[in-house]
Amino acid sequence: AEHVREGRTLAAPEATGATSDVRQLLRVQHALERPEDAQVAVLNRGYWFTMDDRDFRSKRVLAFLMIVLNLAESDDKNKGPAITIGTGA
């Protein structure tokens, strides 16, 4: 609520009473204390933002996003060898 008041983020739909048919794909929780059973934990501005290790859907979505971001990287030094196929012409 503090970050919403400061304009750092938007309120979650459930906090505003809004309804939506869109399923929540990635659930991020926040707390002042670091949870012990977190798959991912990031400390930012005094709050721990975490993803629960038992939240399979969020873990699957995060893994997919990491794969897509890795594929999108344009670092030439990590590219594999180029293969040339002769056409016989």
Residue with tokens 């809004």: 18
Q: 58 with 26: CB under 8 angstroms?
A: yes
Alpha helices in the chain (DSSP H): 2-5, 13-16, 56-72
State yes or no: pLDDT of 14 exceeds 70.
Answer: no
**Nearby residues of 39 by Cβ (< 8 Å), 6 or more positions away:** 50, 51, 52, 53, 55, 58, 59, 62
Q: Give yes or no for residue 41 having a pLDDT over 90.
A: yes
Q: Are the CB atoms for 48 and 35 separated by under 8 Å?
A: yes
pLDDT at 44 over 70: yes
Confidence of residue 22 (pLDDT cuts 50, 70, 90): low
Give the pTM: 0.60
